[in-house]
Amino acid sequence: MSAEPTSVTVRPGVGMLALFPSMSYKPWYALSEFVDNAIQSWLSHKDELAAARGGAPRLHIEITIDRSAGTIEVVDNAAGIFTQDIARAFTPAAPPADASGLSQFGIGMKSAAAWYARRFVVTTTAIGEPVRREVAFDIPGIVEAGADTIPLRTEPASPWEHGTRLVLSDLNHPAPTGRTLGKIRDYLSSIYRRFVNDEDVEIVVGGERLRFEPPRILEAARWSEPEGRPLEWRKDVEVLLPSGRRITGWAGLLATGNTVAAGFALLYRGKVVQGAGSMARDASGGYKPHEVFGAGNSFESQRLIGELDVSALDVTHTKDSLVWDDEDESAFLALLQDELDAEPVPLLRMARNYRSTARTRAVQAIVQDVVASVAQATEQTVRADEGPRRPLVVKRSPVPGRMTVVSAPPVEQTVFLADTSWQLLGEELKIRVVDEPRDVGTWVRVVPDGATWVVTVNRAHRFTESFANLPGMDFEPILRLAVAVALAQIRAERVGPQEPWFFVAELNRVLTGPLSDRAG
C-alpha cells in the first residue's frame, strides 16, 4: 500500500477553481458528474465489492437536498477513492490512469462541485483500506490564499467499509425544489436510462428512486397498405463515418406523436450525453437535427425517436455534447437519413404519410376548449354584421355553449366530440366536431336541418390530420377556417343567387373579423 498522504494538491488549477462557478452547467449535468464517478467506481471494482457483500454488488446512489440548510448531499456505496488515486482525484484537470470509462477528464467532480457551491466536503473510504479520509474545500479561501495544498484528514475505518459522501454548502445556485427538482429527476432518469432499470443499480433523488419508461413504438400497417399486416416501426441502424468511426443503435416511430418526446438520444459509454431532454419532457434538450427531422412541426419531429451509441466520437469536458469535425458530422446526417428510410422499414416515409386520430378523453377535452373558443369568435363575427349594411337578428340559444363528450368508441363509429349552437337569422347555427373515418373524403359539411344550419368538421379527414393532428398540434386555426367557410356559404345562400366570386369575397370578409383574432 502507498504511504498515507497528509494533504492534497490543488495546483496547478487554483485559477481554474475560481472559473468553475461561471461554467455553463445545468443542475442535472452538474449532479451527473458525481453519479458518473460512483457508477465508474462500481463498474471497475465489482469483484471486490461482491466479495465484501458476499454476493452480487449493488450500487446505491442517493442525492439529498436540504433547502432549509442550503445543502446538497451525494452519497454512494461504490468502492471509494483509493490511496494511489487521492492526489489525482482532488487535483483539477488530472485525468485517471484508466480514461476508458465515464471518469475521463479528471475535471468533472471538481468543476461541478465548485459550480454548485463555494464550499464542499468529500469523505471517502476505499474498500480494503482501513482508513476514512476527508477533504474540505473552501473555494474562496483557497483562491484568496493561493494555496498549493489543503489538509487531508484521516481516521481508522473497517476495511470492509466503502463509499463516498459529498456535501455541498454555501451554494452558488438555490437548492432545487419543486419543478426544478422534478426536472432533475426526469433528466437523470433519461441520462442514466441504461442503468436505472438495472436491479443492481439504485439512484435516489430527493427520496424518489429513478426509473426510465421506454417509449412505446408504433405498430401499424404500412401507410401505402392500410389493410396490410401491422409492423413494429423500429429497426437497428449503423453508420460508418468517413473517418472510419462507427455509430450504431436503433431508431423507431412513437406510437403516439409527441413533438417533445421525439428525437434521438446520443449515448457515450452507456450515458446519454446529448438528447436526454426528449425523454425528460424538455423540448430544449432534444437532439433533432434539421437535416433528418425537418421543421419543428414536421411529422418526423413528432414521431422519430432512437438511441445511437456515439462512443467512437469525442465529448466535451462537461459531457453534455459531442465534438465533431465538419466532415464527419455532415456525412453522419446524410448517411443517417438514408439508413432511416431504407427498406424494408422506411421510417421517414412512414412518419410523413401515416395518420392516426387520437380519441382519448384528453384529446376530447382539447376539442371542447377549441370549439368553445371558436364558437365565441363566431358569435362575435355574427354580431359584427349587425348594422345598416345588413341587419341580423342574433339571439343566443337557451343553452349556449352546450357540449357533449363521449367515451372513445371503436374507430369505425362516428364520434361526436363537441357541439355548440346559436340563433342566426332566425335559424339555429350548430358547430359540430366529429371523428368520422368512414367519410374521410369530407372535411367540412354545411347543411340545413330544418331551422338549423349544421356545420360539421371531420377530424379524421386527411387535411385535419396533416395539419392539426392531436395531441401535439394546433387544432383551433383549422376549425376557425372551417367555420369561416361555413359562414360564407350560409350568407351566400341567404342572399340568393350571386356571382361566383361572392363566396370568396364573403370568406375574405369573415376572416378579417374575430375569427382571425387568436384572442377570440
Cis peptide before 391 (omega within 30 of 0): no
Burial 271-303 (b: 16+ CB within 10 A, else e): bbbbbbbbbbebbebbbbeeebbbeeebbbbbb
Given a cut of 70, whether residue 477 has pLDDT beyond it is: yes
Q: How far is CA 127 from the centre of its chain?
A: 39
- Here the cell at position 360 is 382519448
CB atoms within 10 A of CB 316: 12
What pLDDT was estimated at residue 420? 58
For residue 275, the domain's CATH number is 3.30.230
pLDDT (0 to 100) of residue 75: 98
- How many other β-carbons are positioned within 10 Å of the β-carbon of residue 251? 22
Q: What contacts 24+ positions apart, CB below 8 Å, involve 278-281?
A: 278/190, 278/305, 279/186, 279/189, 279/190, 279/193, 279/212, 279/213, 279/215, 280/28, 280/183, 280/186, 280/187, 280/189, 280/190, 281/186
Is the full-model pTM beyond 0.85?
no
Do 490 and 347 fall within a single domain?
no
pLDDT at 118 over 90: yes
Please provide the average confidence, as pLDDT, over all residues in the chain: 80
Q: Give the range with max mean pLDDT: 91-95, 343-347, 411-415.
A: 343-347
Question: 78 in helix, strand or coil?
Answer: coil
| Same domain for 370 and 439 | yes
pLDDT at 435: 78
**Are residues 270 and 195 located together in one domain of the fold?**
no
- Same domain for 258 and 132, yes or no, is no
% pLDDT > 70, the chain:
78
Which range of 197-211, 346-360, 436-450, 474-488 scores highest in mean pLDDT? It is 197-211
Residue 184 lies in a domain: yes
Last residue of a domain, one of 353, 369, 385: 353
* Residue 251 in this model has a pLDDT that exceeds 80: yes
Report pLDDT digits (tens) over 10-40.
Answer: 655 556 666 777 677 889 999 999 999 999 9
Domain membership of residue 1 (yes or no) is: no
The reply to whether 194 falls in a domain is yes
Q: How far apart are CA 314 and CA 90, in angstroms?
A: 24
In a domain, 54, yes or no: yes
Locate 514 and state its grid cell. 374575430
User: Can you tell me the mean pLDDT for 81-99?
Assistant: 72
Select the highest-mean-pLDDT range: 52-61, 193-202, 310-319. 193-202
CATH code for position 50: 3.30.565.10
Alpha helices, DSSP H, located in 192-341: 193-196, 290-293, 300-303, 326-340
- Name which of 115, 166, 76, 175 is nearest 317 in CA terms: 115
137 with 113: CB under 8 angstroms?
yes
Q: Is 374 a residue whose pLDDT tops 80?
A: no
- Which tops the pLDDT comparison, 402 or 94? 94
Are 97 and 231 contained in the same domain? no
Same domain? 157 vs 83: yes
Q: For 183, list phi and psi in degrees, rounded to 5.
A: -65, -40
For 176-213, the pLDDT digits (tens) are 999 999 999 999 999 999 999 999 999 999 999 999 99
- Domain co-membership, 119 together with 224: no
Confidence of residue 55 (pLDDT cuts 50, 70, 90): confident
In a domain, 223, yes or no: yes
Task: Render 345-397 in DSSP notation, one character per residue.
Answer: --HHHHHHH-------HHHHHHHHHHHHHHHHHHHHHHHHTTTTTS---EE--
Mean pLDDT of 328-337: 91
Helix H, strand E, coil C: the string for 258-280 is CCCCCEEEEEECCEEEECHHHCC
* Residue predicted with more confidence, 457 or 419: 457
User: Is residue 214 assigned to a domain?
Assistant: no
Give residue 503's pLDDT. 78
Beta strands at 452-458 and 427-435: parallel, antiparallel or unpaired: parallel
More confident residue, 437 or 286: 286
Which amino acid is located at 316 in the chain? T
Q: Find where cell 401535439 sits.
A: 472
- Is residue 2 in a domain? no
Q: How many residues does the chain have?
A: 520
Residue 439 has pLDDT above 60, yes or no: yes
In this structure, the answer to whether residues 46 and 107 fall within a common structural domain is: yes
Domain boundary among 186, 209, 232: 209
Give pLDDT, residue 235.
Answer: 98
Q: What helix, strand, coil percent values describe the chain, rounded to 5?
A: 35, 25, 40
pLDDT band at 155 (very low <50, low <70, confident <90, very high): very high
Residue 467 falls within a domain, yes or no?
A: yes
Torsion of CA 138, 139, 145, 150, to 10 degrees: 50
Fill in the amino acid letter for 288.
K
Q: Which pLDDT band, with edges at 50, 70 and 90, does 130 fall under?
A: very high
Q: How far is CA 433 from CA 441, 449, 460, 473, in A?
A: 15, 16, 10, 16
Query: Are 35 and 178 part of one and the same domain?
Result: yes
Distance between CA atoms of 150 and 136, rounded to whole angstroms? 8
Tell me the three cell numbers of residue 42.
Answer: 462500481
Q: How far apart are CA 32 and CA 385, in angstroms?
A: 62
Tell me what the mean pLDDT of segment 391-415 comes to: 34
Max distance between CA atoms of the chain, in angstroms, equals: 103
pLDDT of 63: 98
- CB proximity list for 460: less than 8 A, separation 6 or greater: 357, 434, 435, 436, 437, 439, 440
101-124 mean pLDDT: 79
Least confident window among 291-300, 323-332, 457-466, 495-504: 495-504
What is the residue range of 461's domain?
A: 361-516
Residues 183 and 240 in one domain: no
pLDDT at 321 (0 to 100) = 65
C-alpha cell at 175: 437548492
Please determine, for residue 377, whether its predicted confidence score (pLDDT) is greater than 70. yes
Residue 399, classed as helix, strand or coil, is coil
Q: Say yes or no to pLDDT of 247 above 80.
A: yes
Percent with pLDDT over 90 in the chain:
42
Query: Is residue 204 domain-shared with residue 343, that is, in the same domain?
Result: no
For the chain, how many structural domains are there in total?
Answer: 3
Q: What is the dihedral of CA 397, 403, 409, 411, to 10 degrees?
A: 80
Does 321 share its domain with 202? no
Closest CA to 209 of 181, 180, 189, 187: 189
Domain final residue pick, 209, 240, 257: 209
